[in-house]
Structure 1
Amino acid sequence: SVIGTIEHKIETNINTIALQPLLKIGLFDNSFLHLGLSVRFLTSTSFEQRETLIEPKDLTFENGSKIRMNYGGKIPKVTSSLAGAVGGINYEFPISKHKDWFISPEVFLEYNFNNIIPDEKWTALTYRMALAVNYRKALEVIERFEQYEKIDTVKIQLPQIASRKFVIGEPKLLYDSVKVKNVLTIKENYFRTDTLYLPPEYLMTASLKITALEDNGNEVQSPEIKVEEFLYNKMQPILNYVFFDSNSYELPKRYKILNKEEAKNFTLNKAFTKEELGFYHNILNIIGYKLNQNKDAKITLIGHNNNIGAEKNNLTLSQNRAQKVKDYLTSVWEIQPDRIKVVAHNLPETPSNSRAIEGQEENRRVEIYSDNFRITSSLIARDTLLETTFYDKDDTKMRRLNFGGFRIYTNVSSEKEINSWQVALVQGRDTLKVFKGTGPVPMYHDWTIKNNKFVGEILSKPINVVLTASDVSGNQVNVRESPKVEVKTIAVKRQNRETDTKRDSYSMMLFEFASAKFTEENKDFPNIIRRLLKPDTKVQVIGYSDSFGNDNFNLRLSEQRAQAVAKAINHPNTISKGVGETILLYSNDTPEGRFYCRTVDIITETPVHW
């Protein structure tokens, strides 16, 4: 045997027809990426095989030739089609004037997923390099026109001018064009620099300072104001009288008159309004509502006159006054007429002093009585109370003061004459007060809160004081400041688990006229209050009076009434005092205002632990 070198060679020929859907993606100008799939259908196949003796050159195969096993033919068992993926890139060089003919070198690579012979591991990886000539109709050029404007203003101060002067600069136009594919964008740029000549600047300043006022007008320079929210129940007595104007049986306009539809939607909570004595002016609606809630109850209306002048012995007028109340209750509240009895008298059984005009006003009334105590019983409002505490930080004894309002100091400085000014107190969207004028701004303005009942409600929300002023040259200054008020709500106290206090107020009109003796129908009322108190409850009884009569007598009477109530309550933590007419709870311009001032308030404080 001889060691030699033999070359084994197999040549195949596979002819196909290919279907290749491609996605053409532009990379940059005239450069494209092609991605897609390929399906090839085999049309014909062939192969040729042989072995050639290379070394040694002086020998041959047993057949006397250097070539043996030389045969060929059709490749057996081939698949009918090949599926694969194809990708490639090309670049197009324009070769015509209108850029519609291109010469394009391209490179493609194709990989087939299935075997050429199904049972054999034989796949095909094909690459193709070509130089193509392409025709593509040139796109129509689309022109777009864009305008850009830039205007600057240069400010220059000139000492020789007294007012502003504006000079428009010379405009400049610059054009630029950018072409992307078949879109030609032409840009017009407009430039201009204007000049604003200004007179010399001067400083216009303003400042605010806010202090507090006591209810007597004294100023507190360093106030400490706190508003605290408490749980609060208020028992409000119902004055079962309806008062009339002289020689008239028409209901005065201050009483709240409803229509039938409004009466259907009325509730006792709606009787409590911000209007002074608003609950009392709903007296007829309260009675109508309670009569509808207590179907078996009946009432008696006793009409009275003051028995003076045109009203002397005028029982017809008394009758008409009572009938007017009945008509309202039957027509609006739809109370059955047989549940309402009408009686006419001259003076009331317990009249006020007829020698005084105030007493005559109080005797012109209709009294309402019922066989069911619920009809004229007190109203109870369950709500929260906002209590205001006010101190002077400079007072070493830190005595509690009565808050009366704010003093607002204003200072506006300008080299020019002040034209107009305004000081506004704003709370949210509401304007509480506005001071305004022309010329010099006053040194301060006083904003007083006349109704102490709403002080806590007003101070519990932020108040902004806004000062605006302008001078004769049109310059303007605007500053704002807010008074410092510390607000502590029930929610905050609950969150912090603070020890709190529940406040309750029971107002009572228990006494005969000019007497410290309880009326028969109210003599058991203090016992009811006593049962509501806890051992650690603190009780304060305050007696009041109206301004009618002698000051000293009213003070002594209010003290006696407060002491009588405190004695009847009989609670160990009780203090009482009378203030007479030094504190008027309500305006004394109306009979009801005076009646509601002849009262005793029982104020209780009970600890609450959250």
Structure 2
Amino acid sequence: MRIFLPFLIFLVIYNLSSAQTDTLRTRYSLLGGYMMNYHTADFRALPDVPNCCPKFTDGEGNGIMAGVGIGFPIGYDLLFNMRMSYLNHNAVLQREEATNIINQGVSEGGSFLHEITPRISTVGIEPSISYRLFGELFLNIGGRAGVLLSPEFDQKEQIQNPSGATFADGSGGNTGLRIRNQVTNRTLPNAQLLQAALIGGISYELPLNNKRSFLVMPEVSYQYALTPLVQNLTWNVNALRMGISFVYQPQPTIEKERRYKKIYRRDTTERKMRIPAVRVMLVDTKQSSSMTEDDSTITTTTTIAEYYERQVPLPPSVLIPAISAFGVNKEGKESTIAELIIEEFRSEYYHPLLTYIFFDSTSASLPSRYKTLTEQQAVMFEMKALRGMKALDIYYDVLNIIGSRLVAYPKATITLTGCNSDNGVEKANKDLSSKRIDAIKSYLESVWNINAYRIKTVVRNLPEKSSNPLTSDGMQENRRVEIASSIPEITDVVNTNDTLRITNPPLIRFKPSIVSSEGIVSWKVTVSQNGIVLMQYNGTSNPPTTIDWDIAKSQATIPRYDYPITVTIEAKDIEGNTANQTITLPTNQRTLAKKKNDKSGDKLIENYGLILFDFGKSTLSERNLRVTNFVKGRLKPNSTVTLAGYTDRTGNLQINQRLSGKRAESAAKSIGRPDAQQKGIGQTELLYDNTTPEGRQYCRTVQIMVETNTP
């Protein structure tokens, strides 16, 4: 402060000697300063804080102030200011109380000192008006609205004299203490958080450069409080404020003459289009600007580039889509279609039930793809709900199927064998195998109410008949729990019946073609019946030469009504032109009801599946022999049998094809029809998703179809 004061005096003297009135400008300021705080009071004690003081009346202290502000000229000599400030209002309130003190039975004169030391800071805004009195001297009048920041206080009551005196306790005993009612770092009770005050003072501007863009502005002001520090208590905080602001006010800009120039540049290209006559079109405009400046002028030059297109008529466009349809029989031979025959047959499905439950790596939680029920839902579960579902979809209900069968056969027991991949984290981890058993056992006990004594458990690492533990697929398949039963009825095939719909021909081959002079953007072939879309094919560029609709692969897309099938091809070319062609195919629905009325005869179609063959072998397991023996007993002299063997994606293509053929041959011999039609398809046609272990297991199958004519 001693160093700064001479510098400030020098600036004032220098400014007075070269003072000139300047037009007021928008300004930004940083404030720092010192405060002399004057507390006025009229209270005996703070709320809920014991104090024996007769009355506190005043107190003094000091603090700092800091702030940032902005000012706007609102007249030649007037500024409107807005400042955000931080203030310290610290002080000490003291009251000396004269009293008589009984010291060792003798009354003598003494005194108490009552003291409250508040620690108070506020953050607030200070709107004000500054009026230039003359030269650089301003009168400032305004106000302040602030918010208390965590107000605290200390308090004590101390015996000043005599020096040896101490306070007595409630019963008159000596406490040995010269201080009582002491409080430290206590939050000020019932503090008035919002503090308002009036502010008045003067300030003086001292420029630091010729352009007066930087100023030093000392100021003195008095702050008079309008609100008490504590609610319902007379205690106000006033202050004499002394500070210095460092002010920045941007240099006013000098208005220069503005000049504008425009430069046009034009370019034209030619394009052939589908239009009736030649025309010239503005297709694009680009604009760029540059600016040059000297002492008196600012010149803006705008360059406008215009791009025109001369559009020349094209010859008439050609867009002709066409489509034809042919029937393809089982041997792959094409023929024209007189009509599409859809015939209904009674069918029986005997789906093999895979009794392996597969788990994710290192997990003992039942994967979400397996269907689970609540105890109430289990009561309502019926096997007929599985009607029309594929084998793999039925498999995901395996725990509910086994649970319902255990309920139906109360004397039956099952054995759960928990396994792991015996690789990596699962290496020799029988505890994980045991937890996997617990997941299934808990479900059967809690949902299906199967007594624990009916469920035996076996814990091991790799399964007895494990898959290759070194491959990803093999490790997937080894992470499982196997379910075996004391009677075959628990894990037997799942029998469902349905109405099978077969078309003749089984496949329709579409041959689309599009003639276009402009090029094709998109095409679409829609197959529908009576407004219902059965299939849809689409693409860009040219369509393929043939599109096969394999009707036999999906019962959902087989036409269901005695209405013609509509086939529409739509095409769109580069120019946005569209065209279409539609053909119709007659249908002949031979439903079960029609055949019964016509007494034209019918046939029963039965489908069986064999799974769980040993690796690389074609011999039939005990479970599979149970199925083939059942098939053998169902055969009639007029029954026609077809067998097809399949494998998953694992292994060599040719080896898998031969192996699947041998398995089909073994099944044919087992049912007593070694001369039945049989083929090994192998992995050339994957029946299910091979990314899951159950999908691969169900692909390793022999499917048996038996067709028997019935009256």
Shared fold per TM-score greater than 0.5 = yes
User: Contact 1:539–1:573 at 8 Å: present in 2 too?
Assistant: no
SS of equivalent residue, structure 2 residue 604: strand
Aligned mates of 2:573, 2:658 — CA distance in 1 = 60
Listed as ranges, the matches of 1:425-504 within 5 Å are 425-427=527-529, 430-433=532-535, 452-454=552-554, 457-461=557-561, 463-466=565-568, 480-504=582-606
Structural mapping, 1:593-604, within 5 Å: 593-604=695-706
Contact 2:551 2:557 in 1 (8 A): no
Deviation at 1:210, TM superposition (A): 3.8
Distance 1:319 1:429, change over 3 A: farther
Alignment pair present for 1:518 and 2:620: yes
- Provide the rounded CA distance (Å) in 1 between the counterparts of 2:344 and 2:651: 38
Residue correspondence of structure 1 range 52-201 to structure 2 within 5 A? none
- The answer as to whether partners of 1:544 and 1:599 remain within 8 angstroms in 2 is yes
User: Relative to structure 1, is the Cα distance of residues 327 and 448 closer, same or farther in structure 2, using a 3 angstrom cutoff?
Assistant: farther
Q: CA deviation at 1:291?
A: 2.0
Q: Quote the residue 2:608 is aligned against.
A: 506
Q: Is residue 284 of structure 1 aligned with residue 399 of structure 2?
A: yes
Residue 488 (structure 2) pairs with residue 388 (structure 1): no
Residue 462 of structure 2: aligned partner:
347
Determine helix, strand or coil for the equivalent of 1:482: strand
2:609 is matched by which residue type in structure 1?
A: S
Question: Which SS does the other structure have where 1:327 is aligned?
Answer: helix
Please identify, of 446-455 and 482-491, the stretch whose mean Cα deviation from structure 2 is larger. 446-455
Shift of 1:234: 1.5
**What is the letter of the counterpart of residue 446 of structure 2?**
S
| Number of the residue aligned with 2:637 | 535
Q: Deviations over 1:199-235 (max 9, x none)?
A: xxx999987534258799x995735654322221111
Corresponding residue for residue 325 of structure 2:
211
Are the structure 2 counterparts of residues 232 and 353 from structure 1 closer, same or farther at C-alpha, using a change threshold of 3 Å?
same
Against the structure 1 CA distance between its residues 578 and 479, is the aligned structure 2 distance closer, same or farther, given a 3 Å change threshold? closer
**Which amino acid in 2 is paired with 1:287?**
I
Residue identity (%): 36
Residue 229 to residue 578, structure 1, CA distance change in 2 (3 Å)? same
Residue matched to 1:146: none
More deviation, 579-588/597-606: 579-588
2:352–2:391 contact (8 Å) kept in structure 1:
no
User: Which among 239, 244, 249 is matched to residue 359 of structure 2?
Assistant: 244
> What is the one-letter code of the residue matched to 1:255?
Y
Q: In structure 2, what is the equivalent of residue 585 of structure 1?
A: 687
Unaligned runs of 5+ in 1: 1-159, 162-201, 391-401
Rate the CA distance shift 1:291–1:427 in 2: closer, same or farther, 3 A. farther
The answer (yes or no) to whether the contact 1:306–1:347 under 8 Å persists in 2 is: yes
Change (3 A) 1:565 1:315: same
Q: Which has the higher contact order (CA 8 A, sep 6+)?
A: 1
Deviation of 1:520 (Å): 3.5
Is 1:336 aligned to 2:436, yes or no?
no
Residues 208, 481 of structure 1: 8 Å contact kept: no
**Residues 304-344 of structure 1 deviation map (CA, whole Å, 9 limit, x = unaligned):** 11111111111121112121122222333333333323332
SS at match of 2:357: strand
CA contact (8 A) 2:523 2:543 kept: no
Name the residue aligned to 2:428: 313
Structure 2 residue aligned with 1:559 = 661
How far apart are the structure 2 equivalents of 1:483 and 1:448? 15
The letter for the 2-side match of 1:295 is P
Alpha-carbon RMSD across the aligned residues, in angstroms, is 4.1
What code does the residue aligned with 1:298 have?
T
Cα offset for 1:385? 1.9
- In structure 2, the residue matched to 1:568 is 670
Rate the CA distance shift 1:368–1:425 in 2: closer, same or farther, 3 A. Answer: same
Question: Normalising to structure 2: TM-score of the pair?
Answer: 0.48
The answer to whether the Cα contact below 8 Å between 2:668 and 2:675 also exists between their aligned partners in 1 is no
Aligned partner of 1:394 in structure 2 is: none
2:700 is the counterpart of 1:605 = no
- Distance apart, 1:431 and its partner CA: 3.8
Contact 2:523/2:572 (CA < 8 Å) preserved in 1? yes
Question: Aligned residue pairs: how many?
Answer: 395
Note closer, same or farther for the CA distance 1:591–1:213 as it changes in structure 2 (3 Å cut).
Answer: farther
1: CA distance, partners of 2:526 / 2:646: 37
Mapped contact 1:233–1:383 kept (Cα < 8 A): yes
Q: Which runs of 5+ in 2 are unaligned?
A: 1-275, 278-315
User: How far apart are residue 378 of structure 1 and its match?
Assistant: 0.3
Q: CA 1:267/1:495 → structure 2, altered by over 3 Å: closer, same or farther?
A: same
Compared with structure 1, are the counterparts of its residues 482 and 314 closer, same or farther at alpha carbon in structure 2 (3 Å cutoff)?
A: farther
